[in-house]
Structures are given as structure tokens and as C-alpha cells.
Structure 1
Amino acid sequence: MTRKMFHLGVLVGAAVLGTAAWTMTARAGYESAEYKVVETDGDIEIREYPDLMLAATSSKLDSQGRDGSFMRLFRYISGNNENDQKIAMTTPVFMEGDNGLSDVSMGFVMPKEVAVEGVPDPKSDGVQIRKRDGGRFAVIRFSGRMDSKLAKKQEARLRDWMNARGLEGETTSEAAGYDPPFTPGPLRRNEILIRLKQSSDASPSVDTSMRGDGL
């Protein structure tokens, strides 16, 4: 029995490691929105983002895209646009909404090359093209399967951290997800982002390099 349990443990461990490796490889295969890290404190960062172009549609955070929102955007990047242009998938998927994070706007980030050359208009009325203004954000990173309860908990942690440092942020927040829906919860990369008001400042202290690795 002990030997069987040992072999079972080895198999489970190998499966977990294999899944984790596959997840990291899958993320690395996508272009990811760039940002500069200004400061890092554990799982919290201050980041600066450039302007980004998004293809966006209405959604609900708890639906995980099962309300049709994900497929509306996927059809758009698959060619349901005025140029019949196929557009590469990127990370993260942004979810922007109110503090409750229930009624939100789901947005796919347009690849840098597409944003520069011009984003084609959608054929569907349910998809809009808009600019996400760049700026400085406080960001907390966490795992798990995203829903409104988890998002509120992590947003509260982030706001407590900001308050302790005297950083003032907008009343609304954003969620960001980096993984396909079938990725196990413990391996998922999720984030909550809060835009800092211009009066807030964080001095560069750790890393000011541009990142966009999606890891």
C-alpha cells in the first residue's frame, strides 16, 4: 500500500508540474500588454501602462465569459471586422467596471502592430473599439478562479496597502486575467488594478524595465 501511495504521489506531482509548465508556456506564446514596474512589495506592484487599444463588450465578471461576451470578442479577432482581418490573441483580458465588479466591460488588448496600423471596426454592434488611457496603477496579483467575491477580497487588500502608503486611487477598479478558462485555479494569474490619481506618487525603487511577458 505504501509503495502504491508513493507511486500515486509521484504521478500526481508530475501531473501538477506538467500542467504548471504547460500554463507558463501557453502564456509565453501570447503578446502581453507592456508596463513598467515602478515598485514591488510582495504580490503588489506600482506599474505604469502606456495607452492601449481594446476591443470591448459588456459582460459579468462571475460569468467567466460564458454569457457570450468572450465569443463576441473572439469572433471579432477571428475576422468578424470590417477588414476581415485575423488578429492575434493577447493577454491579459481586462474586466473594467464598478466596485462590485459584477457588470463590467470585457476587453481584449489589441496587438501593438494592429494598434499602430489602425484597429478595424467591428461588424457586430456588441463590440466596441476604445482606448484604455495609460497611467500609473496599483496592482495586486493572485491565483484562483476569478469571481466577484475573490475580486472584492483582493481589492480590499490592495486598498489597505495603498492607504498605508498614502496613495489615493480611483473609486473604480479593473480585473485582469491571463489564462484560458480551463486552467486550474491554483495556476491562474489574476490581477486587480486601481488607477492612481495624479496627486499620488511612488518613487522608482525596484524595477523600471518594460514588461510584457504574460508570466
Structure 2
Amino acid sequence: MADVEEKMPKTLWAALVFICIEILLIVVLVPNSFIDTAILKEQDWGEALMGKSQHEQLIRDTDSLYTQLHLDNGLNKWVGSLFVPTDEEREKSKAWENLGNLWFKFLSNRGEALTKVLYHVYYRFLLLVMWLPYMLVILAPSVLGGYMTWNIKRYTFQHSSPFLNTYSSKIISFIVVSLMISFIAPLPIPPMVIPVVIIVLMPIASSLLIGNLPKRL
């Protein structure tokens, strides 16, 4: 377990660095039209899965969340003003008002790409939240079963497997990191993929992790 605890921070930092690089590459390289196509394609899959009325409610919730976090408080406008001057500011810069037009246009375009990616993240997050009750129904018995197995091993002197404990924790870490990366990915992901992976793997890994914890009376 000590070995896992030493490696976990490195794994976490590596995941965060990878996610930051992923965001940077998306913002710099991925065209807005490609992001639009991915969002629309994934929304079409979502509507086919859950029905028109329920999917429309998901879209409204996503719009509401994005509006509250980015528009109502002026966040988008404030961030944009840091990189792209307003028309008033350009007019005040006599003889320099056209300087950097191409650069500012690029920044504005990439800022739009970032807002679309964030909107897609909120859509995927709220979609996952809809599956949360089903995940908890399956996860709770697995956690309880793992806890009961651990208690049985404590009092009957059965062997706890460090191998299963270590690799189940790695599976959980892999699921969490993959979930974070998939939220940002500018590719259409079928709505069932992420929930099914979590529902199948997370209970098994959690049960093995808890059931093979070191025994301490």
C-alpha cells in the first residue's frame, strides 16, 4: 500500500498535465466546425437514447448551467477583454487601431472554441448525473459486500491479497482519469459508453479494493 500511496500523487499530476495539454491542443488546433459537429452528433445520439422530451430538458439544463457560470456573471466578457481589445479601445489607439487584427481574430476564434468545449463538458456532466442513481444502486451493495468480506477476513485470518488491492485501486484511478479526459475530448462519444463502463467496472474494483484492505483488528 505504501508503494501505491507514493505513486498516486505522481499519477495524479501526470493526469492533470495530460488534461491541460489536451485542453491546449483543442483550443489551438481543433476547428470550431469540428467541435460543432461533435456536439451535434453526440446530442443526436442522446436524443435517440432518452427520447425527445427528456433530452430537451437536458439541453435546457445545460444552457442554464452555462448561462449561470459564463454569461450572467460576465465571465466570458471579462476573459475576452483580457486578450481582445474592444472597438472603443481600438479607436483610442490612433494609428495603431489595426495592429494585430489577424492575431486578435485568431484569439477570438480560439476563445469561441474553448467556450464550446466547456459547454460540451457541462452537457456530458449533466448526462452522467442522470445516471447517478443507477450507479449508486449498484455501487452501494458492492461497497457493503467488500466491507463484509474484509471483516470476515479480519476475524477468520483469511488472506488479503495485496495484488487485488493494488490493481483495483489502479482501475479506480484509471476510471476517474479517463472520465476527466473523456469530458474534454472533442469527439462524439456514445452516451451509454461512460455510464456502462462505470457501472460495470467501478463496483467490481471497489469491492475488491475494500475486501482486500490490510487487516487490522
With normalisation by structure 1, the TM-score equals 0.26
Q: When you count helix as a share of all residues, which structure comes out higher?
A: 2
**Rg: which structure is higher?**
2
With normalisation by structure 2, the TM-score equals 0.25
Q: When you count strand as a share of all residues, which structure comes out higher?
A: 1
